[in-house]
Chains A and B, each alone.
Chain A
């Protein structure tokens, strides 16, 4: 079946620290992979995506590379800011049905000044 596993939070970092949030998946077919971000009191917003193996998605200084050999899509940012404090969700849409999405449990990031 299809599922997403991501590291548990919360993750607490100081401003300008390096961020990694791990995400691994199981999927049938050839999934597309996503990172969504949820700011307090808001809905989820697409942060970045990758649709095939070795693709790198990037946005707002965040990056993630689709690694088929390790079934991973880890989120990274070189220097976090206080405004990056949010909950981050890894997700996939299954290769055999691109209109069904599966989400991880979310990782809360707290960035301290």
Chain B
């Protein structure tokens, strides 16, 4: 009963480093999302995908890239990490019955 799985759970990056947050779901959902949650704030949409091969920008896409080569996987890439990208990142998927399912989150600190 895996649902939405994110890795890593915690990561510390140095300024300018790159990394990829992995996300996979086993529910065969077409719609997937990446959100960030800054301390004491709500969720902001970074990127989303409506199916394999299709991605689109959300509210705060700058500094990030995504790809969707399969239905299951939706990795988020940070190319040149900046302190402003210190946040908690959530991957999510949608079952088209209007309910969104979240992963457990990835805590990223850029120093």
Contacts and interface: CB of A to CB of B under 8 A. Distances in A.
Co-complex (A, B): yes
B99 A46 contact: yes
B33 interface: yes
B102 A99 contact: no
Given A89-B42, A104-B42, A49 B102 contact: no
Nearest to A4: B42
B80 interface: no
Nearest to A105: B42
Given A99-B96, A100-B48, A101-B33, A45 B102 contact: yes
A103 B44 CA distance: 8
Place the interface of chain A in its size category. 20 to 34
Contacts of B101: 46
A96 B100 CA distance: 17
Contacts of B12: none
A98 B100 CA distance: 10
Contacts of A45: 102
Interface of B: 4, 31, 33, 35, 40-43, 45, 48, 50, 90, 94, 96, 98-105
Contacts of B102: 36, 43-45
Nearest to B42: A105
Interface residues of A, dominant DSSP: strand
A3 to B, nearest CB: 10
B105 A42 contact: yes
B42 A98 contact: no
B105 A105 contact: no
A101 B101 CA distance: 11
Contacts of A43: 4, 90, 102-105
B57 to A, nearest CB: 12
A49 B99 contact: yes
5 contacts: A44-B90, A44-B102, A46-B101, A89-B43, A100-B45
A20 interface: no
